[in-house]
């Protein structure tokens, strides 16, 4: 069975399955307190238990050159040093001969805590005199930004990061607008809930570290381990097997340095496989409150928007800074503005760290923006569809001065949603505005990364066997298959000839990680260029053998294997190559790369590579007695530019859309009494099942042909999440006249909205209120 | 420990059941029999990744004691393909054809659940399929492609495809 078949045959191996001879097993002791000082750890009884190899604590970590990690703010120790900052913070790690013994040993570790006041919410963290999570500032450079933007690490107590962007005369423009509206939206904390629990295995041999991990950023982790342990990068090798789902939850540094430290202390290979419960305690999506003040003219043209985003970053930085930057920059949506002021702050709280989740703040920004656009349309008596049409960016129009132009036809996608939904005929339904209604939304985010780069090789053997090597990890998106398609299409060889090489950082060309929907466009371009390089070498070789110009030759697959064609003549390549090289044959090695340049004139320091719009439409029915929401239709579309593999593209949209659907309807990781997680386990935390699907769930992918990637492609893996929540909220208002502004849209919240109550509850009081 | 005389049928072949009384089936399948296609996800009978068929009925191997399958027949994903040539069975072919998976972690459970469903109802309605697949979580696909795969599998099986 080939790689694809192995998923249906059970043969695929994940990091969770990784095993090495002599391997020991680790388990973590986690903090029961949201905030506490560690006064002492007594592991003597655990160490006395037969089968226990060693115990690793903050004392071991503190001896490293740099025990902290975090993207742009390095504040997270690989295991708690002196203090714990959320329920679930790892305090001690036991390595034993088997997991059972490790688990038993955890019970024998005594930790002496001085319990501190928790800081569970945004309001608690920002209150005057609030307890602080950290006393000292941390190393790390603020994210680089360009024209009109600012970027600050740790600007105030309990504030991890602030990003802002301003252009135009916002106060003047708001003062001069025909209508000005201010609305706030709250979004809940949700969990990635990937199915393969977070896992890794490390071994140290001849002073070299080898690590098999489910993380999607092998080169980033290699750099983190290099810095933290003071080792050169060529003493560290990361292996990335198939990843059992991630959605951002397996990006950036997580447990890898701890696994390495355990393997060093145990002097044996060590496996750490979390349970899914523990995985839920590792990272969440950012909850937050987004307040938008928007001015429009008498015809419903958008003039100016001031946005204040407060996002709950949890206890440690992870990738929060990037989430803030992207959320604030995109919160103006795919529209034309005269002036803009956007600011996002990441607030530290004593909760699970928040980080990237399928779009770096894109969901939060699009949700708030698209709800408010709809609300304004209804307030000024415009159809929300018409309001959007009047303000959407045209093709080629820059998202912001200094940034790249829109490379999708935004109206075309919106019209396709309307057509599939039956939007323009909705008023003919007798239930319309009487419990039944439709809503639209258009999400937008930048894609491909900021100033991103990637390298790749494409090797072609004398038999025409193609090996594509790049560091885009296989996480379910079908990266290997898509990159093989790009390579073989460029070479002119059948897809069946190509294999995607296993990823390890000793051999695989570098990229910045499997992020920001960059696999097809950025790494794909590197693969395409590598394939072009290989093709040129092959044709040059053949031209020399055939004594003709290379330009006269083309590659093709023939009945006699791969061959070069010169006019009517076909020359099989295998014999040509073997007669020259002999031995065991030859391999042509094509190299390719791409670097998106930095540009200080662009607000986020690089012109965005491509734009990822998401069009959504929903039809809902609300039970006025119970507030129960039934989703009759959910239509979600994206633009692939050019679909390298249409089935994969549609699958990405559908998967992302259903995650946003869960967030909209019932997903929420809650805290009880502001301190203890209430449902951070896979049984209590509800994710959508097949039985929860909308009555009609229709996803589509357009090909607007304007992508910068191979054959006009652009990424879309994150986009399906962006517009769903706003489309549902907008449909609820269309059906009932009531607006819900806090996710998830539970029956209680809808009933409250129906009763005319304002449902924007400060984050602070939410758990108490429910 | 259960005695040497105890056994069960695993993927059509007799197998011994040497496991402590508190051992769960998923650990026995993975560790004693090397059947890693039986995945551990939630480890509490919610996600369905460890689903196996016990006498044709889907069960969560993470929450089934090994002794419960004594004398019974267990089918894991490794036993679904043709035993002699490894050719995928019609349900596996349908999942391949419809791309009924992304990361693949839930796939074994989904395929085995589909098998049990189609044995009971060869021509299930959309609502029946959604209800049956509701026994497991797929966080990647949004279920659409999996539902299409069940429809396709049903058609292949009704056509007597082997």
Locate tokens 């839920």: which residue?
Answer: A280
Cβ(A463)–Cβ(A561) below 8 Å: yes
Domain that holds residue A259: 22-116+196-244+249-280
Q: What pLDDT is recorded for position B59? A: 98
The reply to whether A691 touches chain B by the CB within 8 Å rule is: yes
Q: Is the pLDDT of residue B26 over 90?
A: yes
Cβ–Cβ below 8 Å for B40 and A687: no
Res. A250: pLDDT tops 80:
yes
Residue A106 pLDDT > 80, yes or no? yes
How far apart are alpha carbons A429 and A734 in whole angstroms? 13
Q: Which residues pair with A694 in a beta bridge?
A: none
For residue range A12-35, what is the model confidence (pLDDT) as tens digits?
A: 999 999 999 999 999 999 999 999
CA–CA gap between residue A623 and residue A625 (Å, rounded): 5
Q: Mutating which of A4, A9, A654 best tests the B interface, going by the most B Cβ atoms within 10 A?
A: A9
Chain B residue nearest residue A645, CA to CA: B99
Q: Is A56 helix (H, G, I), strand (E, B) or coil?
A: strand
With cut-offs at 50, 70 and 90, classify the pLDDT of residue A757: low
CA dihedral (A7, A10, A15, A21) positive or negative: negative
Tokens representing A285?
Answer: 């999506």
Are A630 and A740 found together in one domain?
Answer: yes
Give which of A3, A8, A198, A720 to mutate to test B binding, by max B Cβ within 10 Å. A8
Q: What is the mean pLDDT of residues A726-734?
A: 98
Question: How high is the pLDDT of residue A136?
Answer: 94
Range list of β-strands (E), chain B: 7-10, 13-16, 51-54, 57-60, 73-75
The burial of A386, by beta-carbon neighbours within 10 Å (0-12 exposed, 13-18 middle, 19 or more buried), is given as exposed
Partner A contacted by B134 (CB < 8 A)? yes
> pLDDT tens for residues A126-144?
999 999 999 999 999 999 9
- For B86-124, what is each residue's pLDDT tens digit? 899 999 999 999 999 999 999 999 999 999 999 999 999
What does the mean pLDDT of chain B come to?
A: 94
At A318-352, the pLDDT tens digits run: 999 999 999 999 999 999 999 999 999 999 999 99
Q: Per-residue pLDDT averaged across A62-91, rounded?
A: 98
Dihedral sign computed on CA atoms, order A43, A48, A50, A53: positive
| Residue A636 DSSP SS3 | strand
Last residue of a domain, one of A280, A303, A328: A280
pLDDT of residue A768: 39
Question: Is B102 within 8 Å of A476 when comparing Cβ atoms?
Answer: yes
Same domain, A728 and A760: yes
Q: Give the mean model confidence (pLDDT) for residues A691-706.
A: 98
Query: What tokens were used for A127?
Result: 């209150």
Q: Is the dihedral of CA A628, A633, A639, A643 positive or negative?
A: positive
- CB–CB contact B144 A16 (8 Å): no
B77 vs A10, A648, A657: nearest CB:
A10
Residue A454 main-chain phi, psi, to 5 deg:
-160, 155
Residue A763 reports pLDDT greater than 80: no
Domain end, chosen from A580, A595, A610, is at A595
What mean pLDDT comes out for the span A471-480? 94
Is the pLDDT confidence value at A224 over 90? yes
Domain check: are A533 and A405 in the same one?
A: no
- Nearest residue to A165 via CA among A343, A396, A381: A343
> Which chain A residues are Cβ-neighbours of B96 within 8 angstroms?
4-5, 8
Give the residue carrying structure tokens 């044959």: A585
Indicate the helix (H) or strand (E) that contains A445. Answer: strand A436-447
Are A271 and A312 in a shared domain?
no
Provide the pLDDT confidence category of residue A242 given band limits of 50, 70 and 90: very high
For A235-259, letters b (16+ CB in 10 Å) and e give: bbbbbbbbbbbbbbbbbbbbbbbbb
Same domain, A367 and A253: no
Distance in angstroms (rounded) separating the CA atoms of residues A469 and A480: 9
Give the Cβ contact number of residue A705 at 10 Å: 16
Place of tokens 């990738």: A319
Predicted local confidence at residue A673, as pLDDT: 77
Could you give the CA distance from residue A293 to residue A384 in angstroms, rounded to a whole number? 18
pLDDT of residue A455 exceeding 60: yes
In the structure, what pLDDT confidence band is assigned to residue B6 with cuts at 50, 70 and 90?
confident
State the greatest distance between any 2 C-alpha atoms of chain A, in Å, as a whole number: 85
Mutant choice from B31, B48, B104 vs A, greatest count of A C-beta within 10 A: B104
> Is residue A40 domain-resident?
yes
Compute the C-alpha angle B143/B145/B151, nearest 5°: 105
Residue A4 lies in a domain: no
Contact criterion met (CB below 8 Å) for A133 and A85: yes
| CB–CB contact B42 A245 (8 Å) | no
Residues A445 and A486 in one domain: no
With both helix axes pointing from N to C terminus, report the angle between A218-229 and A256-266 in degrees, rounded to the nearest 10. 50
Same domain, A298 and A363: yes
| CA–CA gap between residue A706 and residue A700 (Å, rounded) | 17
Provide the chain B residues 49-88 that lie in CB contact (below 8 A) with chain A: 49, 76-78, 80-81, 86, 88
Among the three residues A230, A259, A280, which one is the final residue of a domain in this structure? A280
- Domains, in order of start, for chain B: 7-79 (3.10.20.30), 90-158 (1.10.150.120)
Q: Which residues contact A583 (CB under 8 A, 6 or more apart)?
A: none
Nearest-angstrom CA–CA distance, A273 and A197: 7
Smallest Cβ distance to A195: which of B81, B106, B129? Answer: B106
pLDDT at A83 over 60: yes
Is residue A443 domain-shared with residue A526, that is, in the same domain?
Answer: no
Chain B residues with CB under 8 Å of A654 CB are: 141-145
Residue A4 has pLDDT above 90, yes or no: no
> CA-to-CA distance for B159 and A642, rounded, in angstroms?
36
Alpha helices in A472-572 (DSSP H): 479-491, 524-546
Q: What is the mean pLDDT of residues A655-666?
A: 98
Q: How far is B150 from chain A (nearest CA, A)?
A: 12
Test B133 with A244 for CB contact under 8 angstroms.
Answer: no
Strand, coil or helix: A672: strand
Residues of chain B with Cβ-Cβ distance to A8 below 8 Å are: 77, 88, 92, 95-96, 101, 104, 107, 111
- Answer whether residue A423 is part of any domain: yes
- Separation between Cα atoms, residue A236 and residue A223, nearest integer Å: 9
Angstroms from B40 CA to nearest CA on chain A: 7
Q: What is the pLDDT of residue A762?
A: 47
CATH of the domain at A35: 3.90.1170.50
Paired with A166 in beta bridges are A341
Nearest to A316, CA basis, from A582, A49, A83, A577: A83
Number of A to B CB contacts under 8 A, please give it: 158
Do A563 and A530 reside in the same domain of the chain? yes
Residue of B nearest to A194 (CA): B139
CATH number for position A703: 3.30.365.10
Looking at the structure, tell me whether residues A271 and A294 fall in a common domain. no
What pLDDT was estimated at residue A764? Answer: 45
B103 and A476 within 8 Å at the Cβ level: the answer is yes
The rounded distance, in Å, linking the Cα atoms of A636 and A654 is: 8
Instruction: Count the helices and strands in chain B (H runs, E runs).
Output: 5, 5
Cα A708 to its chain centre, rounded Å, is 21
pLDDT at A766: 41
Q: Which has the minimum average pLDDT: A272-281, A426-435, A603-612, A761-770?
A: A761-770
Q: Which residue has the tokens 């209604």?
A: A437
Determine whether A138 is exposed, middle or buried from the number of CB atoms within 10 Å of its CB (0-12, 13-18, 19+).
Answer: middle
Residues A114-131 as b or e (16 or more Cβ within 10 Å = b): eebebbbbbbbbbeeebe
The HSE-up count of residue A389 (CA atoms within 13 Å, CB side) is: 10
**How many CA atoms are closer than 13 Å to the CA of A309, on its beta-carbon side?**
39
Q: For residue A493, tell me if it sits in a domain.
A: yes
Which structure tokens are listed for A474? 């296989």
Asked whether residue A269 is assigned to any structural domain, the reply reads yes
pLDDT digits (tens, 9 = 90+) for A514-566: 987 889 999 999 999 999 999 999 999 999 999 999 999 999 998 889 999 99
Supply B29's token pair: 């399948």
Write down the pLDDT at residue B161: 59
Would residue A685 count as lying in a domain?
A: yes
Residue range A377-400, pLDDT digits in tens: 999 999 999 999 999 999 999 999
pLDDT value at A761 more than 90: no
Q: What is the average pLDDT score of chain A? A: 96
- Is the per-residue pLDDT at A268 higher than 70? yes
**Chain B residues within 8 A of A104 when measuring between CB atoms:** none
Question: Are residues A315 and A422 both part of a single domain?
Answer: yes
Phi (first) and psi of residue B141, to 5 degrees: -90, -20
To the nearest whole Å, the CA of A684 is away from the closest chain B CA by 10
Select from B40, B108, B142 the Cβ nearest to the Cβ of A658: B142
A164 has pLDDT over 80: yes
Tens digit of pLDDT for each residue in A600-652?
999 999 999 999 999 999 999 999 999 999 999 999 999 999 999 999 999 99
Contact B156, B94 (CB under 8 A): yes
Work out the number of other CB atoms within 10 angstroms of the CB of residue A537: 15
Tokens of A393: 């960016």
Does residue A313 sit in the same domain as residue A356? yes
Helix B126-133 × helix B107-120 angle, to 10°: 130
pLDDT tens digits along A190-209 = 999 999 999 999 999 999 99
Query: Does residue A299 belong to any structural domain of this protein?
Result: yes
Closest chain A residue by Cα to residue B90: A8
Give the N- to C-terminal CA distance of chain B in Å, as an integer.
41
The phi and psi torsions of A556 (rounded to 5 degrees) equal: -160, 165
Judge whether residue A468 has pLDDT over 80: yes
The count of residues in chain B is: 162
**pLDDT in the model for residue A758:** 47
Q: What is the pLDDT of residue B18?
A: 87
Domain count for chain A, please give it: 3
Taking only residues 231 to 270 of chain A, the set having a beta carbon closer than 8 angstroms to any beta carbon of chain B reads 242-245, 247
Task: Say whether B44 and A681 touch across the interface (CB within 8 A).
Answer: yes
Residue A152 in any domain: the answer is no
How far apart are alpha carbons A221 and A238 in whole angstroms?
8
* A674-688 residues labelled b (16+ CB within 10 A) or e (exposed): bbebebbbbeebbbb
């Amino acid at each position: 069975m080939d790689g694809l078949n192995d998923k249906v045959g059970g043969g695929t191996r994940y990091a969770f399955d990784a095993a090495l001879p002599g391997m020991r097993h680790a388990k973590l002791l986690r903090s029961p307190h949201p905030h506490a000082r560690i006064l002492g750890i007594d592991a003597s009884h655990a160490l006395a238990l037969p089968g226990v190899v060693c115990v690793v604590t903050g004392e071991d970590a503190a001896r490293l050159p740099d025990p902290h990690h975090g993207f742009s703010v390095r504040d997270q120790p690989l295991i708690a040093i002196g203090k714990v900052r959320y329920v679930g913070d790892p305090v001690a790690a036991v390595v034993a001969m088997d997991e059972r013994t490790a688990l038993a040993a955890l019970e024998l570790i005594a930790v002496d805590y001085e319990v501190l006041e928790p800081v569970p919410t945004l309001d608690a963290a920002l209150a005057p005199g609030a307890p602080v999570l950290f006393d000292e500032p941390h190393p790390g450079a603020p994210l680089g930004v360009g024209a009109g933007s600012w970027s600050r690490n740790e600007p105030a107590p309990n504030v991890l990061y602030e990003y802002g962007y301003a252009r135009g005369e916002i106060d003047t423009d708001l003062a001069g607008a025909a209508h000005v509206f201010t609305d706030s939206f709250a979004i809940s904390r949700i969990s990635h809930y990937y199915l393969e629990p977070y896992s890794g295995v490390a071994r140290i041999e001849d002073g070299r570290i080898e690590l098999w991990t489910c993380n999607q950023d092998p080169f980033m982790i290699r750099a983190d381990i290099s810095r933290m342990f003071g080792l050169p990068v060529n003493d560290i090798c990361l292996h990335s097997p198939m990843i059992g789902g991630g959605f951002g939850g397996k990006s950036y540094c997580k447990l890898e340095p701890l696994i390495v430290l355990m393997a060093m202390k145990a002097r044996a290979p060590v496996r750490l496989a979390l349970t899914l419960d523990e995985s839920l305690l590792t990272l969440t999506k950012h909850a937050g409150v987004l307040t938008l003040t928007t001015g429009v003219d008498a015809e419903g043209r958008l003039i100016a928007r001031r946005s204040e985003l407060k996002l709950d970053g949890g206890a440690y930085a992870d990738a929060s800074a990037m989430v803030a930057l992207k959320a604030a920059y995109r919160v103006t949506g795919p529209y034309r503005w005269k002036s803009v002021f956007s600011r996002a702050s990441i607030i530290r709280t004593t909760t699970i760290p928040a980080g990237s989740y399928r779009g770096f703040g894109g969901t939060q920004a699009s949700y708030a923006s698209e709800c408010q656009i709809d609300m304004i349309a209804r307030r000024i008596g415009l159809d929300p569809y018409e309001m959007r049409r009047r303000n959407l960016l045209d093709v080629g129009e820059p998202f912001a001065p200094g940034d790249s132009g829109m490379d999708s036809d935004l109206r075309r996608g919106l019209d396709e949603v309307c057509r599939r939904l039956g939007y323009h005929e909705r008023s003919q339904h007798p239930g319309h505005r009487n419990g039944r209604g439709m809503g639209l939304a258009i999400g937008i985010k930048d894609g491909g990364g900021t100033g991103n780069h990637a390298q790749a090789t494409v090797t072609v053997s004398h038999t025409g066997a193609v090996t594509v090597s790049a560091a885009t990890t296989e996480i379910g998106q079908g990266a290997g298959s898509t990159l093989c398609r790009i390579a073989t299409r460029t070479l002119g060889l059948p897809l069946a000839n190509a294999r995607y090489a296993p990823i390890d950082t000793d051999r695989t060309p570098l990229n910045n990680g499997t992020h920001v929907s960059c696999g097809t466009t950025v790494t794909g371009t590197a693969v395409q260029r590598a394939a072009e390089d290989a093709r040129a070498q092959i044709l040059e070789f053949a031209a020399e053998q055939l004594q003709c110009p290379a330009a006269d030759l083309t590659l093709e697959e023939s009945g006699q294997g791969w061959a070069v064609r010169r006019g009517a003549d076909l020359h099989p390549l295998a014999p040509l190559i073997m007669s020259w090289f002999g031995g065991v044959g030859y391999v042509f090695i094509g190299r390719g790369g791409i670097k998106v340049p930095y540009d200080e004139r662009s607000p986020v320091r690089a012109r965005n590579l491509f734009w990822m719009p998401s069009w959504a439409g929903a039809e809902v029915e609300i039970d006025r007695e119970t507030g129960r929401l039934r989703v009759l239709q959910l239509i979600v579309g994206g633009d692939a530019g050019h679909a390298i593999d249409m089935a994969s593209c549609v699958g990405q949209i559908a998967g992302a859309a259903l995650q946003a659907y869960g967030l909209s309807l019932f997903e929420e990781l809650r805290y009880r009494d502001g301190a203890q997680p209430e449902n951070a386990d896979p049984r209590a935390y509800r994710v959508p099942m097949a039985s929860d699907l909308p009555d009609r769930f229709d996803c589509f992918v357009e090909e607007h042909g304007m992508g910068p990637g191979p054959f006009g492609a652009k990424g879309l893996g994150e986009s399906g999440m962006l517009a769903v929540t706003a489309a549902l909220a907008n449909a609820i208002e269309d059906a009932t006249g009531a607006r819900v502004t806090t996710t998830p849209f539970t029956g209680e919240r809808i009933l409250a909205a129906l009763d005319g109550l304002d449902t924007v509850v400060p984050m602070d009081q939410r758990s108490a209120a429910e | 420990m259960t005695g040497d005389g105890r056994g069960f049928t695993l993927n059509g072949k007799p197998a011994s059941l040497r496991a402590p009384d508190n051992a769960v089936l998923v650990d026995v399948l993975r560790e004693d029999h090397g059947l890693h296609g039986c995945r551990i996800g939630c480890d509490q009978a919610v996600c369905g990744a460890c689903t196996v068929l016990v006498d044709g009925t889907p069960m969560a191997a993470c929450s089934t004691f090994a002794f419960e399958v004594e004398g019974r027949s267990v089918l894991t994903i490794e036993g679904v393909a043709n035993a002699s040539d490894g050719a995928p069975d019609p349900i596996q072919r349908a999942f391949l054809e419809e791309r009924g998976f992304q990361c693949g972690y839930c796939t074994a459970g989904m395929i085995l659940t589909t098998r049990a469903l189609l044995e009971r109802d060869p021509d299930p309605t959309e609502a029946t399929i959604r209800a049956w697949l509701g026994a497991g979580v797929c966080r990647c696909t949004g279920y659409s492609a999996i539902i299409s795969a069940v429809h396709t599998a049903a058609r292949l099986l009704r056509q007597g495809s082997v």
